[in-house]
Amino acid sequence: MYLPLSPAISEEHVAAGRRQPVTEVAFLFAELGTTDGHAGLGFSYATRAGGPGLYAHAKEIVPLLLGEDPNDVGRVREKLVAAGASAGRTGLAAQAIGAVDVGLWDLKAKRANLSLAKLLGSHRDAVSCYTTSGGSLSVPADKVVENARRSLAQGAGGIGIAVGAQEVSHDVERMRAVREALGDDVPLIACADQQWNRVQAGRHARRLDEFSVQWLADPLDAHDTKGHAALAATLTTPIATGATLTSVDEHWRLMTADAAAVLQPDVAAIGGITPFLRVAALADQHHLTLAPHFATELHVHLAAAYPGGAWVEHVDWLAPLFNEKLAVENGAVAVPDQPGIGLSLSERSRMWTTDRIEFAESV
């Protein structure tokens, strides 16, 4: 399934010729049914590239689910991992399995007649949220302020602002305009999108300390653990990263190096809820803030079940895919109380579906 985006998402990487604009998001959905009439829904996604690969890998291994007990999420997931081991245990292979893993957890929660958050052990009924939809680099400072005020009026609790321009004055101007307009009490998040090298990050990030930023997200390549650790040691602003990492091990290396104060794992990137929960448990042991990336509809459950400080990024890109809508008010996203993840596919999503395949046990 391909979800069209209008307007396309375009940032500094695009202007520099390093990336293409994001015009659509490819989704892999897994609809799981049981002989006693229960059903689970899971999904994974990819931007710019990878959608057909996710689908191809899933088609090869999903038949191994037939006849398994869906309550045994861990064992079933490992069976799929082993079946596709020649393609690797991270990246695309894990992300294809992730759609099934999410579906198994959704199914497990539904069979227990609990929301996913309640099944996992919820710590809160609403999760603090910030929005990044109105602060991209191409938006002038006065328009960023206007968009931020609108987002706050619509219930957002914090404002994400893109930084990472080649000229640090551009970033400082925008950040100062928003801080002065909104006051000192509104949490601001600076989102660098991995656009700096180590030298640039050191110079630019220190200029942001004066604005009491909640955290600086992705100042360096996500895999540059040593660079993040060195930068974190020089700043008062907390560092956040992890959105594009694809394994528990990669997140573990960040934690043990004290490279980030805020972890931003993404269920789709890491390969499902099962590995996400492992990352969350490790993050809690390190007393880190958890701020999952993207897919608010799913991550709100996981953030609600996190014992420490937690945020979600509120983006409305996925809204057309589902019949249910999230409630955002007083700076937080309410955790849905329907069984499972609380989502069902809309008719529009069916129209955007480009291919589907069904597997069933012969009788």
Q: Are residues 188 and 97 in the same domain?
A: no
Q: Are residues 147 and 62 in the same domain?
A: no
Q: Are residues 134 and 104 in the same domain?
A: no
Q: Are residues 107 and 122 in the same domain?
A: no
How many Cα atoms are found within 13 Å in the side-chain-facing hemisphere of 296? 28
Mean pLDDT of successive 10-residue stretches along the chain, which has 363 residues: 72 53 88 94 88 93 94 96 88 94 98 98 98 85 94 96 88 94 96 94 91 96 97 96 95 97 96 98 98 96 98 92 96 98 95 90 60
Which residues sit opposite 240 in a β-bridge? 217, 262
Question: What's the predicted TM-score (pTM) here?
Answer: 0.94
pLDDT of residue 165: 84
Whether 98 is in a domain gets the answer: yes
Q: Are residues 236 and 263 in the same domain?
A: yes
Whether 358 is in a domain gets the answer: no
pLDDT of residue 277: 98
Q: Are residues 47 and 124 in the same domain?
A: no
Which residues sit opposite 2 in a β-bridge? 26
Q: Are residues 213 and 78 in the same domain?
A: no
pLDDT of residue 250: 96
Whether 361 is in a domain gets the answer: no
Q: Are residues 48 and 196 in the same domain?
A: no
Q: How many domains does the chain have?
A: 2
Q: Are residues 295 and 160 in the same domain?
A: yes
Q: Domain of residue 59: give its range.
A: 2-113+347-352
For residue 1, give Cα distances in angstroms to 27, 45, 176.
5, 9, 41
Whether 31 is in a domain gets the answer: yes
pLDDT of residue 363: 47
CATH of the domain at 127: 3.20.20.120
Task: For 215, list phi and psi in degrees, rounded to 5.
Answer: -165, 160
pLDDT of residue 134: 79
Whether 192 is in a domain gets the answer: yes
pLDDT of residue 276: 98
Q: Are residues 183 and 315 in the same domain?
A: yes
Whether 357 is in a domain gets the answer: no
Q: Are residues 89 and 18 in the same domain?
A: yes
**What residues contact 10, with CB distance under 8 A and at least 6 apart?**
21, 22, 136, 138
Q: Are residues 64 and 134 in the same domain?
A: no
